[in-house]
Chains A and B, each alone.
Chain A
C-alpha cells in the first residue's frame, strides 16, 4: 500500500481557496487517489476520488499531475464549516481492499 505524506496542519480564512497537497511517490498503476473529510467525533466522509488529471465535483477539485506522485485537493471559498481533518488515501478502487489512513491534514478556517 502506497504511503502518503501531507502537511500536518493548515490555516485559512473564510472565502479563500485552500489547496492541500499529498505526496504518494510509490503509487501503483491500479491505485486511485481518494480524499476524505472527518469532523470531530464522526466517521470520515468521502470527498473526491481520481486517477489522473483533474476531477471536479460539487464540493472540491482534485488535481493529479502526469506522474501521479502527488495530488492536490482544492476547496474553493472555504467556510467555517470546512474546519476538519482531511485524509489523502491511495489504493486500488476495485474490490474490498482495506484503507490505511495517514496522519491527515488538520485544516482550521478562521473568520
Chain B
C-alpha cells in the first residue's frame, strides 16, 4: 500500500524553541493531509487539515499561530510547533488518503508518528 513517512521519529527541544515535523507521501500525491496529536492513553485528536497550495483548516480549539502548517508540494506537509512548551509534548501523527486504483474510494495511510518532548 501507499506509504506516509514522518521525520523525525522523536525530538527533544527546549521550552521556547520551535520544532518542525515533516510528513511525506512517498509513492503517491497527497493534495490533502491531516495532522493529529495523541496524548498517552488517549485517542487521536484531529488538529488540522493541510491543503496543498492553500491555507490549512484548523479544528476548533487549535491555535493556528501555535501550530503552523505548510503544504508546499503534493508530497510534503510540515507542522511547526512554535514557541514550544512542556504542555505541547505529545505524539504527533500525520495522515494522507490515497485512491484505490480504479475506484472513487480512498484509504487513509498514517505516518509512524513523531514523539515531541519539550523540556
The chain A residues found within 8 Å of chain B, CB to CB, are 32, 34, 41-46, 49, 87, 93-104
Complexed CA–CA distance, A87 and B45 (Å): 13
B1, B34, B112, B113: the one within 8 Å of A99 (CB): B34
B34, B43, B111: the one within 8 Å of A98 (CB): B34
Please report whether the interface of chain B is mostly helix, strand, loop or mixed according to DSSP: strand
Extra contacts, 6 of them, besides A32-B105, A96-B97, A97-B97 (Cβ < 8 A), are A41-B115, A42-B112, A43-B93, A46-B109, A99-B46, A101-B44
**B43 pairs with A87, CB closer than 8 A:** yes
Residues of B within 8 A of A43 (CB): 4, 6, 93, 95, 110-113
Interface residue ranges of B44-83 to A (CB < 8 Å): 44-46, 49
Encode contact with A along B77-94: 1 for CB under 8 Å, 0 otherwise.
000000000000001010
Complexed CA–CA distance, A38 and B49 (Å): 21
With both chains docked as a complex, state the minimum distance between the C-beta of A64 and any C-beta of chain B, in angstroms. Answer: 16
Show 13 A/B contacts (Cβ-Cβ < 8 Å), sorted by A: A41-B115, A42-B112, A43-B6, A43-B93, A43-B95, A43-B110, A44-B110, A94-B104, A94-B105, A95-B104, A98-B34, A99-B34, A101-B43
Complexed CA–CA distance, A42 and B10 (Å): 11
Complexed CA–CA distance, A29 and B111 (Å): 30
**B31, B97, B109: residue with the most chain A Cβ atoms closer than 10 Å:** B97
**A100 pairs with B46, CB closer than 8 A:** yes
With both chains docked as a complex, state the minimum distance between the C-beta of A87 and any C-beta of chain B, in angstroms. Answer: 7
Q: Which 10 A-B pairs have the closest CB atoms?
A: A43-B110, A96-B32, A101-B44, A93-B105, A94-B104, A101-B43, A43-B93, A44-B110, A43-B113, A43-B111
**A41, A44, A46, A87: residue with the most chain B Cβ atoms closer than 10 Å:** A44
Residues of A within 8 A of B104 (CB): 94-95
Complexed CA–CA distance, A67 and B52 (Å): 38
Q: Can you name the residue of chain A whose Cβ is closest to the Cβ of B51?
A: A96
Residues of A within 8 A of B49 (CB): 98
Q: Can you name the residue of chain A whose Cβ is closest to the Cβ of B36?
A: A101
**A93 pairs with B106, CB closer than 8 A:** yes
With both chains docked as a complex, state the minimum distance between the C-beta of A44 and any C-beta of chain B, in angstroms. Answer: 5
